Homo-oligomer: A and B are copies of this chain.
Amino acid sequence: MPARKTDTEQRQDQIVQAALDLINDSGITGLSIAGIAQRVGIVPSALYRHFSSKDAVLDAVLNLIETRLLANVSYAGKLASGPLEQLRLLFRRHIAMLNENQAIPHVVFSDAVYTGDPGRKARIARTIATYLKEVEAIIARGKEDGSIRMDVVPATAAVMFLGMIMPAAVLWNISEKKFDIAFHVKTAWPMFEHAVAVK
């Protein structure tokens, strides 16, 4: 039976989410128009009513990721009392988001996204750089208010903050979800605090 007709706007959302899910399961390599269409419940050719090409879909996926990434930062910023607390919240948030959408770090840190448009690599680089700058800013604020040691290098600390998340994501995925991510959250944070906090 034919699929129910749906606004392009909604379909685009569905398609992008389906693409993300598909990457989630099969990696970038497994991302195909047919696969996306199947998940959405339409026929491959119908997808072209809503996106001009596979590349366009991929760009939209990157948009989604970018948005969610930045949303996390501002979310943590609103709830936290101080810089360290903000980092802790951001960390937890990222891990929680991983639970819903492990594909995100996969896409961002995969090399497969770079083929095709050469500008895409630069764009991802910019997104990550922006994210790291945000984290650095939080750390710099921590140094100002005395909660983070003065000898901590913000840029390096930001990379190590990422280092709590990225390997965990990879391990979780590669181990077929056997990696104990809750345990990791509980034990990694104190260690990070030891690395940067005063006293």
Binding site for B on A (CB under 8 A): 23, 26-30, 106, 109-112, 114-115, 121, 124-125, 128-129, 151-153, 155-157, 159-160, 162-164, 166-168, 170-171, 173-176, 183-184, 187-188, 190-192, 194-196
Contact = CB atoms under 8 A, between A and B. Distances in A.
Interface centre among A109, A111, A171, A173 (most CB of B within 10 A): A111
B28 A112 contact: yes
Contacts of A109: 109, 170
A contact patch SS: helix
Given A163-B167, A184-B159, A192-B195, A29 B175 contact: no
A129 to B, nearest CB: 8
The count of identical subunits is 2
A158 to B, nearest CB: 9
Contacts of A167: 159-160, 162-163, 166
Contact of A112 (B27, B129, B168, B183): B27
B115 A153 contact: no
A194 to B, nearest CB: 5
Contacts of A160: 160, 163-164, 167, 188, 191-192
Interface centre among A26, A29, A30, A175 (most CB of B within 10 A): A29
Contact of A156 (B115, B151, B157, B191): B191
